[in-house]
Amino acid sequence: MTYYTRAEGLPKTTSLPFLSLLEAIDYMLEGFQNLVIPIHNYTSTKSEKNPVQKSSSPKSYCWLTQEDVARFLLNSVGVFSPTRTFSIESLNIIDLKFMTVSYHDPAISALDLFTLAHTEQTSVAVVDDDRRLIEEISGSKLAYCDEDVAAEITTLSSGDLMAYIDCGGPPEDLIGLRRLTSSSASCCSSDDESRLSRNGSSGRSSARRSEAITCYPGSSLAAVLIQALAHRASSIWVIDEDDHNLVGVVTFKGILKVFRSTANATRKPEMENSSNSIIRYIAQYEKETLIQEP
């Protein structure tokens, strides 16, 4: 959860602190990725007849994400029995429409997918020829890269781009390949180029890799939620238990949809909490510094 000071250009959202949790989830299910919550300080003015509680203008803002709401719900996951024990397959939250790119495809061919993944805060699965998951390229990964990545997208395969991002720069074998292929006097054979292009192990072995997080169709909702929050992963990839082929993806949006349906059927009191209570709860985990205006 991120805090912001008041600044020009921020939307007016004076009513958002009084949203219930259900209303906040509804906004997210409608397509809003984040909610900007103004944080008010309240002062009580006592009079003999009518005590009045006044709200000062907001000096700080909180950026509330789908992950924040999911983390808040995890604290109350026990009240969602038996739903929390159901498999993600039985709950029908495995999204079969997911974005993939082949390891050997040019990265530039997947540029629209990378853009969409960044917008929707999801990921693009990098798969081999047998449709097995190798890794993922997420919008958040690309957001942390420098402008050099833009140039690399036009020249590298998706697999090599994945290695580039993992290494924080071009692996040694990719640098060597570029030098060899750019030289007119190169005596490197096409077989050698293919080997260098496909094998990024030497460069990636020492890199800080963030493996794609996977689960099975039979995994429980609670297990998948814990897995997503523990790894701060926006996409949990679902693979077949037998052949390990990629079959779908579970996102925070899908998980929130289940909790919303459950609350709608049973009217769980936990779901009536205000957005301010979510902010207070999440702040204990994030331990971010609240920046106040001078």
- At 59-82, the pLDDT tens digits run 677 778 899 889 988 888 777 778
Q: List the structure tokens of 210.
A: 């963030």
The reply to whether 137 falls in a domain is yes
Closest-CA residue to 215 (of 201, 197, 203, 233):
233
Q: Where a domain ends, among 210, 234, 258?
A: 210
What's the pLDDT at 120?
Answer: 84
Task: Please answer whether residues 271 and 22 qualify as being in contact, where contact means their C-beta atoms are separated by less than 8 angstroms.
Answer: yes
Give the residue numbers spanning the domain of 109.
Answer: 100-210
Which pLDDT value is given to residue 3? 41
pLDDT at position 101 over 60: yes
**Domain end marker among 160, 175, 210:** 210
Residue 250 has pLDDT above 70, yes or no: yes
Mean pLDDT computed over 15-27: 73
pLDDT of 195 over the 90 cut:
no
**Tens-digit pLDDT profile for residues 251-282:** 999 999 998 888 776 655 555 555 555 555 55
H/E stretch holding 175 reads helix 172-182
Task: Give percent of the chain above pLDDT 70.
Answer: 62
What is the mean pLDDT of the segment spanning 77-93?
88
Question: Rounded mean pLDDT of the chain?
Answer: 73
Q: By the 8 A CB rule, do 271 and 248 touch?
A: no
Q: What is the pTM of this model?
A: 0.70
Share above pLDDT 90 across residues of the chain, in percent, rounded to a whole number: 29
Task: Quickly state the pLDDT bin for 58 (edges 50, 70, 90).
Answer: low
Rounded distance, CA 140 to CA 277, Å?
A: 27
In a domain, 223, yes or no: no
pLDDT at residue 201 tops 50? no
Q: Check whether residue 43 and residue 105 sit in a common domain.
A: no
In a domain, 153, yes or no: yes
What is the total count of domains within the chain?
2
Say if residue 24's pLDDT is above 70: yes
- Higher-pLDDT residue of 154 and 219 is 219
Q: Which of 194, 210, 226 is the last residue of a domain?
A: 210
In terms of Cα–Cα distance, which of 74, 77, 66, 78 is closest to 24? 66
